[in-house]
Structure 1
Amino acid sequence: MSFRSVHSCIGSLGSDLSLLADGVLLVDREMSKSGALDLATGVGGKIKKEDVQSAVEQYEKYHVCFGGGEETRKANYSDMVNKYYDLATSFYEFGWGESFHFAPRWKGESLRESIKRHEHFLALQLGLKPGMKVLDVGCGIGGPLREIARFSSTSITGLNNNEYQISRGRELNRVAGLSESCNFVKADFMKMPFPDNSFDGIYAIEATCHAPDAVGCYKEIYRVLKPGQRFAVYEWCMTDHFDPDNESHQKTKAEIELGNGLPDIRTTKQCLDALKLAGFEVISEKDLAADSPVSWYLPLDTSQFSITSFRLTSFGRFITRTMVKTLEFVGIAPAGSNRVSSFLEKAAEGLVEGGRKEIFTPMCFFLVRKPLSES
């Protein structure tokens, strides 16, 4: 087959997965980028295409599976997390949509509906009202930011240290007509470029798990939040069922860290203690995964089939994997793209295993307040 034939075949297959198996399966277009070419050309983010493979190798070496250690990951967290999101963002957007997070889910509810409801819940818990100035800590490409801004009529700033994600977020804000009310700031959430007492509300959705030091991260959030106002967070945590001496548990934890750019995964108690040490008053805490009628990891479970989340199913992943391999072979996708796809699939396996064993949760919810007066 000629290069032109491969390009044409893969382009048409990737750009229109809404017609597959004689049009039986309909993919939810709202949830993902339109095609495999968008995915393939986005791999690497701001990394030069010829440097993608070496970036993958450097990223992998941070992790236990490749001989890395926790202290090395913490010491180099900024480089590690930036490499991760440069490499993985296009895969996230292609398969998951604009909001890179899980959600508790009702029976009969689509993944997209549950994600929106999960975001609305945060807005309600923060008591957001029109005119408030809000901060999204670790905002990704801004899916939650845009949804919460529309839902609450607030002005939201997204904080992100990854240039590629910010460029994608600004473009999506423009398309959504939200450039005036929503903006992005490129900065490390361990060193925020905002004055004290700047925001009326702050939230973080599965983002502060990337922090090398939870107390330090929460202290920065505390500093820029106005007195009397709330911070709401969904944290990735190891649950009370996690046994650090269990080799299988440790393997699952390492796979999640590798596939998600994490220096470490803290326990629920460690996160709660860190919030208190940062100075917050705890209003409520709950693992929202515990009461979810539909398992949060269901979209990643290859034994299940979903029409609206087709790209996440076993067959959908097979098609994506095949397209990425082909596009890398003919030189459209950068060398190393398939390795990114592989460690993301390994991450999915770890997440499903962590969910089944109940040793991991991506949605430990904490709602805290900054006291009106500091003692």
Structure 2
Amino acid sequence: MNELSSSFHFSRLSKGDIQAVSTARHEHYLFPHLNLRSGMHILDFGCGDGSTALELAEFAGVSVVGVDPDMLKIEKAKQTARKRRLSNRVTFIYGDYSNLRSLFGDCYFDGIYCIESLKVFQLAVYEWCWTSEMNPDDMNHQRLAALLETSTGIGNRPISERSYEGAIEALQMSHLQIVHEEDLSTRSGRAVIPWYACLDLAFSDPRIRWSSSIGGQGAFGGLTKSAAVIMSQAGHLKPFTPMALFVAKRVMPEST
């Protein structure tokens, strides 16, 4: 993994996988939960460099709008869309949570997904969460949580809000009905490799180039080596997962 990138997502690994195959499988497991049909309008929130949005447009024949608060990533995504001749079906817009409604209004999209950036009718999300192994009263767990949040730049939140149960509660508070929820990191099998194994291998590889700062470019996107060490520790200790899957749909009021 010597290619530098500003975007990287953790995915399930199997023996013999290369990263591109693992990432594609991870994305394609998410897509069917949106009940996609040709011609639908889909929002990719936190689209990064646009690779997932472009993959979805080609895979399902839908139109995708990618939104991200990083202008450099948006410009890169636009360039890639033009190169792949998908600009007519995939557009990229600079924005964040606060201005989504002003940009699109209510019920503009048929589906929404976001990968590791949880913050409509059908929603599918891969999110970073604390698992049931996280003990908020354990000083070591508290320290690990604070280090992970600081080193990765995901922001500080109470442990209860970033917990698996907290994510479900947040969706329900937003008037969304949970259709499916699953922590993919707990899947087992003889060929399954833990998600953090790629980090462990990279630590001893002198060819790996790590990002010099949060959000920079490196073999693992904007992940610095110090942040990767913390994430690996969190993976080994089991209080953290980067691939909690939540699928929800908006509860529509009954017509009278």
Whether these two folds match at TM > 0.5 is yes
Q: What is the aligned partner in structure 2 of residue 268 from structure 1?
A: 164
SS at match of 2:11: coil
Q: What is the aligned partner in structure 1 of residue 209 from structure 2?
A: 320
The residue identity in structure 1 corresponding to 2:196 is Y
Tell me if structure 2 keeps the 8 A contact 1:139–1:207. Answer: no
- CA gap of 1:185–1:290, structure 2 versus 1, over 3 A, is same
The residue identity in structure 1 corresponding to 2:39 is G
The RMSD of aligned alpha carbons is 2.6
SS at match of 2:99: coil
Q: Per-residue displacement from partner, 1:176-232 (whole Å, max 9, x unpaired)? A: 221111111111123312111101111010012xxxxxxxx4xxxxxxx1xxx3100
Q: Pick from 15, 33, 55: which aligns with 1:147? A: 55
Q: Which has more strand, going by share of residues? A: 2
Superposition deviation, residue 130 in structure 1: 1.4
Tell me if structure 2 keeps the 8 A contact 1:102–1:363. Answer: yes
Q: How does 1:40-189 map to 2 (within 5 A)?
A: 92-93=5-6, 100-189=8-97
What TM-score, normalized by structure 1, do the two folds share?
A: 0.59
Q: How does 1:7-26 map to 2 (within 5 A)?
A: none
Runs (5+) with no aligned partner, structure 1: 1-26, 34-91, 209-216, 218-224, 305-311, 326-335
Superposition deviation, residue 152 in structure 1: 0.9
SS at match of 1:102: coil
Hey, what's the Cα distance between the residues in 2 that align with 1:160 and 1:147? 17
Superposition deviation, residue 169 in structure 1: 1.0
- Asked whether 1:354 is paired with 2:234, we answer yes
Hey, what's the Cα distance between the residues in 2 that align with 1:118 and 1:189? 24
The residue identity in structure 2 corresponding to 1:148 is L
Superposition deviation, residue 132 in structure 1: 0.7
The residue identity in structure 1 corresponding to 2:21 is E
What TM-score, normalized by structure 2, do the two folds share?
A: 0.85
Q: Which runs of 4+ in 1 moved over 4 A?
A: none
Superposition deviation, residue 284 in structure 1: 1.1
Tell me if structure 1 keeps the 8 A contact 2:34–2:123. Answer: yes
Runs (5+) with no aligned partner, structure 2: none
- CA gap of 1:250–1:134, structure 2 versus 1, over 3 A, is same
Superposition deviation, residue 343 in structure 1: 7.4
The residue identity in structure 1 corresponding to 2:149 is E
Larger radius of gyration: 1
Tell me if structure 2 keeps the 8 A contact 1:133–1:201. Answer: yes
Q: What is the aligned partner in structure 2 of residue 196 from structure 1?
A: 106
Hey, what's the Cα distance between the residues in 1 that align with 2:254 and 2:113? 21
Tell me if structure 1 keeps the 8 A contact 2:150–2:156. Answer: no
- Asked whether 1:243 is paired with 2:135, we answer yes
Tell me if structure 2 keeps the 8 A contact 1:160–1:189. Answer: no
Q: Which has the higher contact order (CA 8 A, sep 6+)?
A: 2
Q: Which has more helix, going by share of residues? A: 1
